[in-house]
Amino acid sequence: MLSRRMSLVVVGSIAFDAVKTPFGERDRMLGGSAVHFSLAASFFSDVRVVGSVGDDFGEQEYAVLRDRGVNTDDIEHVPGGKTFFWAGEYEWNLNIRHTLDTQLNVFGDFAPKLSEASKQADTLFLANIQPELQREVRAQCPGARLAALDSMNLWIETARDSLLRTIATVDMVLMNDDEVRMLTEQPTLVRGARELMELGPRMVVVKQGEYGASLFTEESFFSLPAYPLETVLDPTGAGDAFAGGLLGYIDAQGGADDETTLRRATTYGSAVASFWVEEFGCERAERLTREEIEERFEAFRRMTSVEGVPTA
């Protein structure tokens, strides 16, 4: 079990989502990268979330975060505003998603405001927001033992140079496989990860959806398959939940980034994310327990062990 809880800060979007998949739909559910990340990380560490919301974000939504112990003091309430809204639809192949509507609302003018407590973060996660904002937040947290960022194809296409400058300021990059190839213009993930590390980060974590995740460091490589599930209803937020589990575990270990800790953290991230997709949005997270996460972590250990496998 973990020996201590450190301080983890996430800066990102807080949203309402409308999602339709072949297995159901929700017209309005709590979402956003900062929400999914903070809920996942809260099973391991103390989390503070920085974001902005409008008048439509009420006590019921705050309670989802606070009931998990997430500190919401740095959520900015914009009077008269509306919270970021996103609508999307997934095909039978849940890797294929179509955006139907995006209403930035208060998120369009989001300027992260960090309290002094947040500026003292041990671990910092810069979720998927404009690279310029990520860089500004990173500069406000110079004492963070570990700073990580996520990004997306939009910023690669429209703000590539700014994103590269921001990547140079962090210790870890988390992206999916298509984004790594797009950003680095390299044909393989190995080459892409090496190129990203040459910019400054010590670690690159590649999210590969239903195929799992890969961890690259200067000295090593680690790959983990996705947990096999019979029921997958909605993948929305799973990538941020993966990041939350991964960084939450690392933070709880005092920011350690030795090989054993990183591999365990990747496994915990994958375990947490596997619960997220079993239901819509944050629904499964609201009932999830640490004991269930530990059981799935052990299932991963058994699933990936070669002990007992006969040799040739």
pLDDT digits (tens, 9 = 90+) for 194-205: 999 999 999 999
User: Confidence band (pLDDT; 50, 70, 90) for 1?
Assistant: very low
pLDDT number for residue 4: 46
Q: What percent of the chain has pLDDT over 90?
A: 89
Q: Which domain holds residue 80?
A: 13-303
Does residue 310 surpass a pLDDT of 90? no
Q: Within 13 Å, how many C-alpha atoms sit on residue 228's CB side?
A: 4
pLDDT number for residue 311: 52
Does residue 163 form part of some domain? yes
Does residue 105 form part of some domain? yes
Does residue 312 form part of some domain? no
Nearest to 174 by CA among 205, 143, 208, 130: 205
User: Confidence band (pLDDT; 50, 70, 90) for 257?
Assistant: confident
pLDDT number for residue 307: 65
Counting the structural domains of the chain, the total is: 1
pLDDT number for residue 211: 87
Q: Which two tokens stand for residue 45?
A: 């560490």
Mean pLDDT within 234-251? 96
The helix/strand count (H/E) of the chain reads as: 11, 13
Nearest to 257 by CA among 246, 241, 242, 268: 246
Instruction: Determine which helix (DSSP H) or strand (DSSP E) holds 249, and give its type and residue range.
Output: helix 238-252
Q: Residues 141-167: pLDDT tens digits?
A: 999 999 999 999 999 999 999 999 999
CATH number at residue 18: 3.40.1190.20
Nearest to 90 by CA among 277, 285, 300: 277
Does residue 310 form part of some domain? no
Does residue 5 form part of some domain? no
Q: Residues 90-110: pLDDT tens digits?
A: 999 998 899 999 999 999 999
pLDDT number for residue 2: 42
243-270 burial, b at 16+ Cβ within 10 Å, e below that, comes to: bbbbbbbbbbbebebeeebbebbbbbbb
The residue that leads in pLDDT, 114 or 209, is: 114
Question: What is the dihedral sign for C-alpha 149, 151, 156, 162?
Answer: negative
